[in-house]
Amino acid sequence: MGKIKRPLGKWETALHLLHEELEGTGITATILCCDGNLDVIHMRKALECCFQKHPALRAIIERSLSTNYFAYTAAFSDIEIQYLEGSHDDQWKSVVEASIGQKFDIATCLWRFHIVKSPAQCRYHCILTTHHIITDGLSISNVFDELLKYYEMIEYGQPIAIHTYDVMPPMESVLASRLDHEKFQAPVLEEPPISNRSYPLLQFAYQNFVPLGQRTTKCVYYILDNENNVRLLRACKAKQVTIGAALNAAMLCACRAMNATACSIRLLTPVSVRRFCQPEISREVLGFYVACVPTEHDVAADTLEVFWNLAKEYKYTLNAQTPKVILSESQQAELQPKPMNRMLDIDEAFCRRHFSAGCAISNKGRLALRKHYGSLEIKAVYTSVSRQSGDIAVSLSVGEWQGQQMFAFSYADPLLSEDWVHNFIKTYLSCLERAFANSEVIPC
């Protein structure tokens, strides 16, 4: 059988260019914390099972003068799998930041895996770092579920049968052939309630400019516990908005509070296109199936009333904008590298002095991960922490696991100072907690 290859699609080409031209932009990491006596050999065998199952994990990128290709020829022995004995409990955070700051040798592999053991206790952090070109937020959590199920089977000596997936076409090809147009009917195509900005657009300026190669992605983690998550859910139900809308309203209010004056604020929301296909693209299938939907919102004040109005407006606006963006993606032909460079503002990225995309929240919803896999007990999971280069000011990745919201904030240092970012996050959490402060938890 000949070597399987396929050309990169439009957005795969975009992610490839961002990675190559902008110092690894488009790298993401997912972190799983677990307790138990983790067996590194078992974990390596489980990783090899995933490697055999998913073509995306065997993918490399071959370059040519006119087109870049996926070739599914990576060798498992070439995948970077490291075990580290941590000298302090938070060393895993440094490993995450270093890993998402390291570009891939795209001719060899597009992912790596680290296991970091905390000192003086049986706690481990497993860190899966991938090029965004082969995974999105929904599929990456499923990979961890598969990985841990394989680990459990290996630990218990159970037989493993591996079904290998076929190579999938790129997102725009799938949308062109499988888009479910019934999901785009009115009222979601109505115009949003606010179509014109009343206030100047807020642009976060770089606080300390340095060249791209000197920028480091920093991450801050936070868990909204079960009790407060229930309060948030009850408050959202009472206001008839989603938790995702409330999370974005808190981002808008935090930006307004930090700006100290009325302004219009740009948000970027990654939306999975999987559910818009017929049949739906299963989250078991690895690949990049995401449309980035921009919205803009006037924020006059940082009050509770404004918060809930913004949550409703965000929900409405996102529902109106999403079909337009996805329909556009299904109709656009692949772009050549030069037009793509202009579309992505790659040349501008080297000299601009402000964040061009505002803030972003990627909400994965409920994560399909159990509490126990064999002898391992899962304690926390943070999905798709992303490399930042200077387009997004503050990025927040959220996933709900075991009734808790797992927050991972990321930003580019030193474009924003650590003190400013921690103050921003404190303000964000304060805005969110204010929304459910009066919501009671009803015992079951």
Range of the domain at 125: 5-155
Give yes or no: residues 54 and 189 share one domain.
no
Give yes or no: residues 230 and 300 share one domain.
yes
Give yes or no: residues 308 and 203 share one domain.
yes
Please count the structural domains in the chain.
2
Give yes or no: residues 132 and 259 share one domain.
no
Phi, psi dihedral angles at 82 (to 5 degrees) = -125, 140
CA atoms within 13 A on the CB side of 251: 30
- Whether 171 maps to a domain, the answer reads no
Residue 443: per-residue pLDDT: 45
Give yes or no: residues 137 and 47 share one domain.
yes
Give yes or no: residues 193 and 236 share one domain.
yes
Angstrom CA distances, 130 to 22, 86, 103, 305, 424, stand at 16, 22, 10, 40, 28
- Whether 440 maps to a domain, the answer reads no
C-alpha 113/C-alpha 98 separation (Å) is 12
C-alpha 380/C-alpha 105 separation (Å) is 30
Tens digit of each residue's pLDDT (9 = 90 or more) over 65-122: 888 999 999 999 999 999 999 999 999 999 999 999 999 999 999 999 999 999 978 9
Residue whose C-alpha is closest to residue 130's, from 30, 233, 231: 30
Cβ–Cβ under 8 Å, residues 19 and 104? yes
Cα 62 from chain centroid? 25
Tens digit of each residue's pLDDT (9 = 90 or more) over 166-214: 999 999 999 989 998 777 654 444 444 554 568 999 999 999 999 999 9
- Whether 175 maps to a domain, the answer reads no
Give yes or no: residues 277 and 419 share one domain.
yes
DSSP string, 176-231: HHHB-GGGG-TTTTSPPS--S-SSPBP-PBPSS---GGG-EEEEEEEEE-HHHHHH
Angstrom CA distances, 262 to 9, 151, 194, 441, stand at 41, 52, 16, 34
- Whether 105 maps to a domain, the answer reads yes
Q: What is the mean pLDDT of residues 5-9?
A: 94
- Whether 20 maps to a domain, the answer reads yes
Phi, psi dihedral angles at 73 (to 5 degrees) = -125, 10
Cβ–Cβ under 8 Å, residues 329 and 172? yes
* Final residue in a domain of this structure, among 120, 155, 190: 155
Between 209 and 333, whose confidence is greater?
209
- Whether 223 maps to a domain, the answer reads yes
Give yes or no: residues 222 and 73 share one domain.
no
Q: Which tokens hold the place of 348?
A: 């501008």
**CATH code assigned at 228:** 3.30.559.30
Give yes or no: residues 195 and 107 share one domain.
no
Query: Tokens 């009050």 map to which residue?
Result: 303
Residue whose C-alpha is closest to residue 168's, from 18, 54, 61, 28: 54
- Whether 315 maps to a domain, the answer reads yes
Q: What is the mean pLDDT of residues 127-153?
A: 96
Q: Side chain identity at 163, as an amino acid letter?
A: H
- Whether 53 maps to a domain, the answer reads yes
Give yes or no: residues 137 and 193 share one domain.
no
**CATH code assigned at 69:** 3.30.559.10
Give yes or no: residues 64 and 126 share one domain.
yes
Provide the residue count of the chain. 444
Give yes or no: residues 325 and 219 share one domain.
yes
Q: Which tokens hold the place of 326?
A: 């996805």
